[in-house]
Structure 1
C-alpha cells in the first residue's frame, strides 16, 4: 500500500467538519444556499450559430451576500454549460475582455493541436478567436478552462472555466435521467479561501477554507424529481483532491468517467476526484440525500488493488442536499444493466514505452534559468518544478509522437501524488500508483495519479496532429505545479520518428 502523509489539512477545514447530513437536516436547516442553475448553450439541433464566449472581469456573490472580484465567461463567474453532439462541427467565438492575456483549453476533447487552446494560443486583451471544433468524442463530460502560461491557476480560480457536454446517439437514446434541472445536474466543485470580510480571494494552497458548488458556497440545496438523479461532477479545484460519498451510507452508481460511459454501472461507497477529473453518478433521491465531501492534499492519498482512498480523518462536509420535490416529474426507470461496449486495453498493442518522472525540484542548471521561462512558482523557496528534470519551456519540444500507434506511458513521482493529464486524447489506465485502479476508473480517462515509490501506466493512441507551433501538453493538474513548470509539450505527426528528450540531470 502506498501512503503519503507529510502535509496535513489546514485548520480551517476542521471548523466546518460538523456539517454531517441527515434527512431532517436537509428539510429543516436554513444555513444552506439554493444551488443556482448554470446557463446552458445547447447546439444539439443546430451548430450553425457560433457559440459566443466572452471572458470578462466581474464581481460575484458566492451566496454569502459579499461581492468578490472574479472573472467570468458570459457572466460573473464560470462559463455556461455548452452541449454539443458527436459528428458536429461546432463554431465558437471567444473574446478576451479581461485585463491580461488568456488561453482557453478544451480539456478532454479529441481535436488537433491547432484547436486545443494551449498556452501557445493565448488571446491578447481585446482579441477574438473563432475556432471550429470537430466533435469526435463519444458522449462525455468535458471541461474548458484557462491554460495561460504561468497564470492557469490564478485564472481558473478566478472563474475562467466551464463545462462542455458531448452527446451522441447512444447517450440520447439511453434509458437514463437526462432532463437538466429536473433529474440531471452538473456540479462544479471548487476549493475556496475566504478573507475576513467574506470575500473569496486567491490562494495557492491546495486545501483552503470552504467549498463552492457552481459558484455558490456550500452547503447548498437542490430540489430534484423523486427517483434516480444523474449528477455530472467536475472537480475544478486548483489543488484539492475530493472524496465524494452520500449521506446515510447510501451507495452511488458511477456510470461514466472522464472520457465516456463505463460498460455498466459501478456501485461504490465513495469515489476520489483529483483536480480536473470528472465522473457521472446516479443517486437514489426517493428520499432526501446529501452529497458529502472531504477535500484533501496530494500527500494524503493511499492505494491498494482496486481502491484509492485518503488518509485524512476530516469529517465529511456537505456539498449539496438533494431534496425530492413531488411537483417535479423526472426519470421513472431503474438502474441500467449495460451502458456501452469498451474495447479491451491490450498492453501488447503498444509499440513503445515512454517514461515521465514528475518532481517538485529540478537540477541546478535548470533552476537557475527557470525564471526566464515564464513559469510562475508560489512557494517562498520554490524556484522550479519539472518533468524528467526539465521545467516547462515554451520553445522546447519534449516528445515526438506518431499518429495512430499505441504507446504505454509510465508516470512516476518524486514527491506527492500528482494528477497527470494529457491533451488531445483519452486513454486506458493499466495500473495506477502501482496497482489496479478502481472499477469506476476502468473506462476512458484523461487523468491518472502518480505517487512516490510506484509506477502508473496508461495505454494511449493519438489520432489528431499537433505541430511544433501548437503542440499538445502533458502536465500535473495541480495548477500551481503546472504554472511552476511541471509540464511538457509534444508533437503528433503522421510517420513521425519517435523521440523523447533525454532526462535532465
Structure 2
C-alpha cells in the first residue's frame, strides 16, 4: 500500500528567488514507488491542492477505471484509492497528473514520480540494485522561469501554415518564338502533383458480349429498315 499526497510547497532553484511548486509528499516531485510482478497494489491519493487534478500511471497495464485519466478528477480535499495487480514484465514507469488541457502545467509545477516494476529477471540480472547508491533514477524536465523565479507557463504562438498559391506562370507559360521548343524536367516531388485531375482505368475497357448488347427494335413492316417518308409536295 502506498500513500501519495498532492500538496503545494516552495522550492528554490535560483539563489534568492523561491518558486511556488507542487509535489507528492513534499514540495517538489514525488517518491519512487516499487512493486513486483504479481503483487496487488493499493495507492491512496489525497489532494491537498486548491484545484482538482488526477494521477495517471504512465505505461502501467491496469483496468481503465484505475488509469487516472482526465475523466477521474480528484477534487480538493478528496481521496482516490485505485487498486490493481501488477501483470507485466519489469519496467521503469512514472506517474503524473492527467487533467484535460492542464497536464503540462501540473507536471511542470512538480507533480511527477517514478514507478519501478521488478520481476525474477531483474533480480537475476547483473545490474545495480542498491537504490540511491548505485541505482539512481534521473528525471529531466525542460521548463522556463520568469524574472521573479516563478514558472513561466506561457506557450509560444503556433505558426499558421497557409497553402502555397500556385504560380499562374506554370499553367500559362509565355509563348516561345517560332521554331523553339520548351523542355522542362520536373523534380521527383513535383512529378506527383498535377494541376488538373486525370482519369485512369486500371484495366482496358472490354466490349460486352452480343447477348448483353442493346438491340435496336425492328420495324414490323419494313423488315428492320426505317419507313420511307413521303415526298414533300411543293405548294
When normalised by structure 1's length, the TM-score is: 0.31
Counterpart in the other structure of 2:112: 161
Of residues 104, 120, 134 in structure 1, which corresponds to 2:71? 120
Instruction: Flag the structure with higher strand content.
Output: 1
**Paired position in structure 2 for 1:72:** 23
Kindly indicate whether the alpha-carbon contact (under 8 Å) linking 1:53 and 1:95 is maintained by their aligned counterparts in 2.
yes
Aligned to 1:150: 101
Equivalent of 1:191 in 136, 139, 142? 142
Pairs aligned (count)? 161
Q: Distance in 2 between matches of 1:194 and 1:154?
A: 13
Displacement after TM superposition at 1:379 (Å): 3.8
Partners of 2:66 and 2:96 in 1: how far apart? 14
Q: Distance in 2 between matches of 1:173 and 1:200?
A: 45
Give CA-to-partner distance per residue, 1:119-150, whole Å, 9 cap, x none.
00010111100111211121111010010011
* 1:194 CA displacement: 2.3
SS of 2:123's equivalent?
A: helix
Question: In the aligned structure 1, how far is the partner of 2:137 from the partner of 2:33?
Answer: 11
- From the CA coordinates, give the structure whose radius of gyration is larger: 2
Q: Is the 8 A contact 1:158 1:202 kept in 2?
A: no
Deviation string for 1:431-454 (max 9, x for gaps)? xxxxxxxxxxxxxxxxxxxxxxxx
Residue 454 of structure 1 aligns with which residue?
A: none
Consecutive unaligned residues in structure 2, runs of 5 or more: 161-235
Are the counterparts in 1 of residues 57 and 67 from structure 2 also a CA contact under 8 Å? yes
Confirm or deny that 1:132 pairs with 2:94: no
Distance 1:156 1:202 in 2: 13
Give the alignment's Cα RMSD to 1 decimal.
2.0
Contact 2:37/2:86 (<8 A) preserved:
yes
Q: TM-score, normalised by structure 2?
A: 0.64
Counterpart-to-counterpart distance in 2, 1:58 and 1:122? 21
1:29-68 deviation digits (Å, cap 9, x = unpaired) = xxxxxxxxxxxxxxxxxxxxx2110001111123645310
Partners of 2:99 and 2:62 in 1: CA distance: 19
Q: Could you tell me which residue of structure 1 aligns to residue 11 of structure 2?
A: 60
Q: Does 1:203 align with 2:153?
A: yes
State the secondary structure of the residue aligned to 1:114: helix
Give the direction of change, closer, same or farther, for the CA distance of 1:182–1:63 in structure 2 (3 Å limit): farther
Change (3 A) 1:56 1:169: same
SS at match of 1:189: coil
Q: Aligned to 2:136, what secondary structure does the other structure show? A: strand
Unaligned runs of 5+ in 1: 1-49, 206-377, 383-505
Contact kept? 1:58, 1:71, Cα under 8 Å: yes
- Are 2:36 and 2:117, in contact at CA under 8 Å, matched by a contact in 1? yes
Match of 2:55 in 1: 104
Q: Hey, what's the Cα distance between the residues in 1 that align with 2:154 and 2:59? A: 25
Q: Does the residue aligned with 1:171 lie in a helix, a strand or coil?
A: helix
Which ranges of 4 or more aligned residues in structure 1 deviate by more than 6 Å?
none
